Structure 1
Amino acid sequence: MNDEQLIADLHRRWVFGWDRREGDAPFGFQRVFGEFYDFSSPDVRLYDDFDPEHRVATTAAGYGSIWEPAFREMVSAHHAIDDGPHVVAGGDLATSTLRFVARIVTPAGATDIRTTTSLVWRRTPDGWRIVREHNSTAVLPVGELDGRFDDA
């Protein structure tokens, strides 16, 4: 498998790491994403505009602290890839972009979203790891994704 294929596979698996089902173990960011993010790099910058506070995390652990409370409260989260991943790789850096849709269900109800995500990966002795992330999300009209997910 070449670097482009490997990064594409990692990005696809990363998306589905965010899936949650009723009855899942409590969400633990490092447990779920330890193989994806660089938890020791001083170069990490991670941003997702779905965060109501629009924080930029400078560590993977800090990014996890943004998302753990929300994902622990979720009833479920279902994802599907709409486009990509599209990968450019060379040397010790690679970038991948894809678009996914998701239905996030909380005790307050369901929210459908479409997100474009761009990740920068660095080759480390432990494999490719995310050092940059930027996600841009649009909230979709209620029910737009009806029928898209088997059990959502």
Structure 2
Amino acid sequence: MNDEQLIADLHSRWVFGWERNEGDVPFDFRRTFDGFYDFGSPEVRLYDDFDPEQRVATTAAAYGSIWEPSFHRMVSAHHAVHDGPHVIAGHDLAASTLTFVARITMPDGTTDIRTTTSLVWRRTPDGWRIVREHNSTKALPAGDLDGMLPAHEGPCEAELR
């Protein structure tokens, strides 16, 4: 597998790391994404406009702390890749873009979204790791994804392994 294919596979698998089913074990960002983000780099910049406070995290651990509270309250989150991934890769850096759709169910209701995600990957001794992330999300009309997402049963973290 060449670097472009490897990054494409990683980016697709990354999307489904955010998958949640009712009854899953509590979301643990580090456990789920340890093989994706560079947890040791001082050069990490991670941003997602779906964060109501629109914070820019400068470490992977800080990024996880943005999302863990919401994911602990979440009933479910189901995703499908809509477009991509599209990858360009050099020797030590690669960039990938992908668009996904998701249905996020919280105790007080459901939100359908479409997100375009751009990731920058750095080759490390442990493999390719995310050092930059930018996600732009648009809320969709209620029910817009009806029939577009596969049915899910049971924990999904095994899909990452």
2:102: which partner in 1?
A: 102
Distance 2:150 2:119 in 1: 28
2:81: which partner in 1?
A: 81
For normalisation by structure 2, the TM-score amounts to: 0.93
Distance 1:147 1:109 in 2: 18
2:155: which partner in 1?
A: none
Q: Does 1:137 align with 2:137?
A: yes
1:26: which partner in 2?
A: 26
- Give the residue type in structure 2 aligned to 1:45: R
Distance 1:123 1:149 in 2: 33
Partner SS, residue 14 of structure 2: helix
2:156: which partner in 1?
A: none
Distance 2:91 2:118 in 1: 18
Superimposed CA distance per residue, residues 54-112 of structure 1 (whole angstroms, 9 cap, x where no aligned partner): 00000000000000000110000000000000000011000000000000000011000
C-alpha displacement of 1:151: 2.8
Higher relative contact order (CA 8 A, sep 6+): 2
1:16: which partner in 2?
A: 16
Distance 2:151 2:72 in 1: 19
Distance 1:150 1:97 in 2: 22
Identical columns (%): 77
For normalisation by structure 1, the TM-score amounts to: 0.99
Superimposed CA distance per residue, residues 6-62 of structure 1 (whole angstroms, 9 cap, x where no aligned partner): 000000000000000011100000000000000000000000000000000000000
Distance 2:42 2:122 in 1: 12
Q: Return 5+ residue gaps in structure 2 as ranges.
A: 153-161
What RMSD, in angstroms, separates the aligned Cα atoms of the two structures?
Answer: 0.7
Give the 4+ runs in structure 1 shifted more than 6 A: none
C-alpha displacement of 1:150: 3.2
1:48: which partner in 2?
A: 48
C-alpha displacement of 1:148: 1.4
Distance 1:37 1:150 in 2: 27
1:113: which partner in 2?
A: 113
Partner SS, residue 26 of structure 2: coil
2:148: which partner in 1?
A: 148
